[in-house]
Amino acid sequence: MPAFPGGRHDGTVVPLDRPNVDTDAIFPKQYGRSTARSGYGAVLFDNWRYLDPGDLGSDHARRRPDPDFVLNRPELRGATVLLARENFGCGSSREHAVWALRDHGFRAVVAPSFGDIFRQNCALNGVAAIVLPPAAIDALFAAAQLQVLHARIDVLARELHAAGQGWQFPCSPREQLLLTEDVDWIGATLVHRDRIARFEQDRLLRQPWLARPYPMDS
């Protein structure tokens, strides 16, 4: 199922007021030994979220959550939008970080900037990486201090509304397709299969030698 059916999503916002959150903080390396793509939601922000250390075989339901960590606030249970500071998702390129966000239930991360590979991985896995100006991020954090914040996101209109304000954000046609349809990179490419076929036909007309068998040494 696509992350943004119809292009829209409404969700509660978790304000994570820390800059330069790297992928090891999002998804600690000790859990990367699993080859599964799901079941990582319980270890999202593991080192901050729990008071005791965990490992791949840990029963996370029996661990002690840190009551001061924002993700553990009772009023934010079920939140689907993460508000972050600059350079979110920096560090190594591990895709597990995005899997953990998605598995926990997040459908969007809103920040002034992202690690480049992390942002690509977000779109591929149904998480919108939304870039807003620093002033907008500051306004959202200020609003989140006063009340539980809710956001409405429209990836087709490229708009985010929260705290009585609205902002535009960049979202490429390919990102829109990945977020609103249940497709991967290959599926996104196959949307253009007719154009690809026409290109191949035209190229053979212009360069017919490309279709000749390659001579093999006897």
Please check whether residues 97 and 175 belong to one and the same domain.
yes
- Signed CA dihedral, 63, 14, 75, 1: sign only: negative
Same domain, 142 and 195: no
**What is the structure's pLDDT at 217?**
64
pLDDT tens for 78-113 read 999 999 999 999 998 889 999 999 999 999 999 999
Q: Are residues 177 and 189 in the same domain?
A: no
What pLDDT is stored for residue 57 in this prediction?
A: 81
Q: What is the pLDDT of residues 16-47, one digit of tens each?
A: 999 999 999 999 988 887 777 778 999 999 99
Structural domain includes residue 20:
yes
From the CB of residue 181, how many other CB atoms can be counted at a distance below 10 Å? 14
Task: Evaluate whether 210 touches 204 at the Cβ level (below 8 Å).
Answer: yes
DSSP state of 215: P
- Rg of the chain's alpha carbons, rounded to an integer? 21
Q: Which residue has better confidence, 201 or 136?
A: 136
List C-alpha distances in Å: 80 to 4, 10, 31, 104: 12, 8, 22, 8
At 46-85, the pLDDT tens digits run: 999 999 988 878 888 899 999 999 999 999 999 999 999 9
Q: Please, are residues 125 and 62 in contact by the beta-carbon 8 Å criterion?
A: no
Percent of the chain at pLDDT > 70 equals 93
Q: What is the pTM of this model?
A: 0.85
Which residues, at least 6 apart from 49, have a Cβ–Cβ distance to it below 8 Å?
A: 65, 66, 69, 71, 72
118 and 150, same structural domain?
yes
DSSP state of 80: -
φ/ψ of 111, rounded to 5, equals -155, 165
Number of domains in the chain: 2
Do 169 and 203 lie in one domain? The reply is no
Instruction: Verify that 15 and 90 share a domain, yes or no.
Output: yes
pLDDT reported for residue 38: 79
Q: How confident is the model at residue 203 (pLDDT cuts 50, 70, 90)?
A: confident
Same domain? For 152 and 62 the reply is yes
Give tens-digit pLDDT for 114-169: 999 999 999 999 999 999 999 999 999 999 999 999 999 999 999 999 999 999 99
Q: Which helix (H) or strand (E) holds 22?
A: none
In a shared domain, residues 177 and 188: no
Higher pLDDT, residue 56 or 5: 5
Assign 218 a pLDDT band (cuts: 50, 70, 90). low
Domain coverage including residue 190: 184-212
Which own/partner contact pairs does 42-50 have at CB distance under 8 Å and 24+ positions apart? 42/104, 43/100, 44/71, 44/100, 44/101, 44/103, 44/104, 45/16, 45/69, 45/71
Is residue 218 in some structural domain?
no
CB burial of residue 71 (10 Å; 0-12, 13-18, 19+): middle
Residues 98 and 73 in one domain: yes
The pLDDT assigned to 198 comes to 82
- Does any domain span residue 217? no
The answer to whether residue 31 is domain-embedded is yes
Residue 94 within any structural domain of the chain: yes
